[in-house]
Amino acid sequence: MKLKFSFLLLLLIFGISFSQSKTDLAAADKINKYADRIDKDSSRAKYTFEIPVKGKLIRYEYEKEGNEIIKMTRKWDENNGKYTDTYSDYFLLKNEAKVLALQSITYKNKSDATDIGGWNCKFWIKNDRVINMTSLGHGKTERDDWDYELELKENFSYMLKTVKNFDQKLSQKK
């Protein structure tokens, strides 16, 4: 009897785990469809601005549908000896909540401007929680101490605040 109960409990645990991952994969698929729709529509207002921060120039780009910010990106270069490292953060928003995020670093050889490698990570987000992620290359994902959810929250909050401040100033000029 105990063996049957243990077996049923084990099946229940694995069934719940599997159904959760199926739910997350379905949510990620829904996010992908939303991202595809957004990417195919070029009718949105697009804005660009640059901010100097600690000796580097950070370029922001964002897109709006009506009054809603739905995409935002920031990019900057850092000198790394013989190489230039280009950092990029991207967020796709829905109702001012992040649903998709991309982080990347591209390493370029300064002598011939050839990309020599890089790292990127893609995050699918639901209810402010990462539900799926993929990564390519060598980078932060190899570090045991990387708290990607905290970093995403901090980057998102900072970027959204920066973009909203610029957008508000832009609206006041009109």
Please name the amino acid found at residue 87: Y
| Residue of 69 and 9 predicted with greater confidence | 69
Return the closest-CA partner of residue 166 out of 34, 12, 62. Answer: 62
Q: Where are the alpha helices (DSSP H) in the chain?
A: 2-40, 148-173
Over residues 157-162, mean pLDDT: 96
Dihedrals φ, ψ of 62, to 5°?
-150, 160
Q: How confident is the model at residue 7 (pLDDT cuts 50, 70, 90)?
A: very low
Angle at 30 between CA 12 and CA 23, to 5 degrees: 5
Give residue 114's pLDDT: 67
Report the alpha-carbon distance of residue 155 to residue 159 in Å, rounded.
Answer: 6
Tokens 């987000």 correspond to what residue?
Answer: 125
Residue 80 has pLDDT above 80, yes or no: yes
Over residues 63-67, mean pLDDT: 91
Q: Are 82 and 110 in contact (CB under 8 A)?
A: yes
Over residues 7-36, mean pLDDT: 65
